[in-house]
Structure formats: C-alpha cells, structure tokens
C-alpha cells in the first residue's frame, strides 16, 4: 500500500512541476493576447511561467505586449519564439535576433520576425531591408496599439 501512495505522490510531484513548453496546436490554439487563432508557424511565440502555466501567441509582438502589461510577473518565465528559418521550431527568445522589416509581415502588423542568430537576421535583412534588434530592445520598439481584439 505504501508503495502506491509513494508512486501517486511521485506522479503528482512530477506532473505539477512540468515547466516545459507544450507544443502549439496550430489552427486550434488561440493567442492569449489578441485571441486570434495561431496559424503561422513562422511567427508564433510562447511563454511558460515558473509554475508551468502555458501562454501561447500568434505573433511575437503579442507576447512582447503581454509581458509589458506585468513584466515583474514574467521575470523568470521561459520565453520562446518561432524560428523563421525553421517553421515550427521554437527557440529561446532572449538569445534570438529579430528583424523588423516592412517586406516581411507578421500576423499582428509589427513586421517582427525572429531568427536563431544575428547572422541569420542580417542575411534576411540584406534581402528584405529593415532593422535587426535584440530581445531587450523590443519592449521599447513594439508599440501597444497593435490590433488587440477582445
């Protein structure tokens, strides 16, 4: 009997502490910021809180604005963004480079796209123009007035 109680407690401990990002269900999941369906594998974003709560976004700009609303709350969250060059692959937001180019639209109109490395972002920039940014610069660059639907 003790063995079963131990296993049950172990199971609860393991499942309640899962802070890994759950895969986005494209075409099913909705953006936690603007409520649009998440369909583009090239521009999605994801935030997992310290407690493992999942937040999914149809656009990186939506995650940036979501964090802006209560940045203290999300200080230790796991932040992931779609790697434009490998659609569907999620990469750490803080280590990624970003291109804002009018020639590369993103779902909510900020023209914001993530790349795994600065080189990849600059390569895209050479073809599409625009400016390359680091994660820390996005909060001041992305404006609040993106089409927020409720």
- Give the start-to-end residue ranges of the domains of the chain: 19-141
Per-residue DSSP letter, 101: -
Contact 79, 99 (CB under 8 A): no
Q: Considering the entire predicted model, what is its pTM? A: 0.84
pLDDT tens track for 99-117: 999 999 999 999 999 999 9
Q: Residue 62's beta-bridge partner residues?
A: none
CA distance 12 to 35: 31
pLDDT number for residue 148: 43
Print pLDDT tens along the chain (150 aa): 665 555 555 555 554 556 788 999 999 999 999 999 999 999 999 999 999 999 999 999 999 999 999 888 898 999 999 999 999 999 999 999 999 999 999 999 999 999 999 999 999 999 999 999 999 999 999 976 544 443
Is 8 exposed, middle or buried (CB count within 10 Å of its CB: 0-12, 13-18, 19+)? Answer: exposed
């Amino acid at each position: 009997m003790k063995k079963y109680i131990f296993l049950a407690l172990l199971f609860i401990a393991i499942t309640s502490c899962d802070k890994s990002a759950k895969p986005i269900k494209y075409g099913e999941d909705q953006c936690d910021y603007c409520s649009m369906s998440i369909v583009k594998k090239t521009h999605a974003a994801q935030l997992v809180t310290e407690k493992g709560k999942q937040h999914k976004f149809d656009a990186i700009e939506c995650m940036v604005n979501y964090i802006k609303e209560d940045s203290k709350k999300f200080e230790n969250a796991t932040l992931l963004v779609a790697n434009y060059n490998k659609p569907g692959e999620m990469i750490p937001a803080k280590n990624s480079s970003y291109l804002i180019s009018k020639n590369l639209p993103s779902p909510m109109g900020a023209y914001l796209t993530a790349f795994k490395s600065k080189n990849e972002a600059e390569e895209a920039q050479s073809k599409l123009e625009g400016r390359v940014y680091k994660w820390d610069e996005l909060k001041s660059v992305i404006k609040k007035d993106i089409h927020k639907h409720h």
